[in-house]
Amino acid sequence: MSKTQTTYRKTKSGEWVAYGRYSELMHTEGKEISIHKKDGSTTTRVCRKIGKPFRVDDGAEMVYAYLEGGERIPRWSGPCCDVCGSTRGVHEAFDLSGIGGYACYQCDDGFLSFA
């Protein structure tokens, strides 16, 4: 695979982007770009946004192209405490009248009221 080909790269935040020469990707916002995979095949994706250009060791000006559909999907992290909103140490609790809810160990003093 040539160094001039546009390839996939994972950013520090975990997002997959296209990585290639700025001269090839600078006018591709909103357009389809060809990305070369490790196995030698090529795929086409739509460029959502071009990042800030930067220089690499050999002096080439490179850029990240952020792709459509590449946004990270937030995952459900479990129940939240009904009192403070924390997600740490949350368990199902019942108040004195039997109404159920979720409370963290810090907020659960045994006298909660979920009503």
What is the domain partition of the chain in residue ranges? 7-67, 74-109
Residue 74 has a pLDDT of 63
What mean pLDDT comes out for the span 14-20?
91
Rounding to the nearest 10 degrees, give the CA dihedral for residues 21, 27, 29, 31.
Answer: -100
- The vertex-66 CA angle with 8 and 72, nearest 5°, equals 90
- Which of helix, strand or coil describes residue 3? coil
pLDDT > 70? residue 56 = yes
pLDDT > 90? residue 15 = no
Q: Which of 31, 23, 32, 17 is nearest to 4 (CA)?
A: 23
At residue 108, what are phi and psi to the nearest 5 degrees? -80, 100
> Rounded to two decimals, what is the model's pTM?
0.57
Lowest-confidence pick of 12-16, 20-24, 76-80, 86-90: 76-80
Give residue-wise pLDDT tens across range 39-53: 999 999 999 999 999
Q: Helix H segments across the chain? A: 22-25
Q: What percent of the chain has pLDDT over 90?
A: 54
Q: What percent of the chain has pLDDT over 70?
A: 91
pLDDT > 60? residue 1 = no
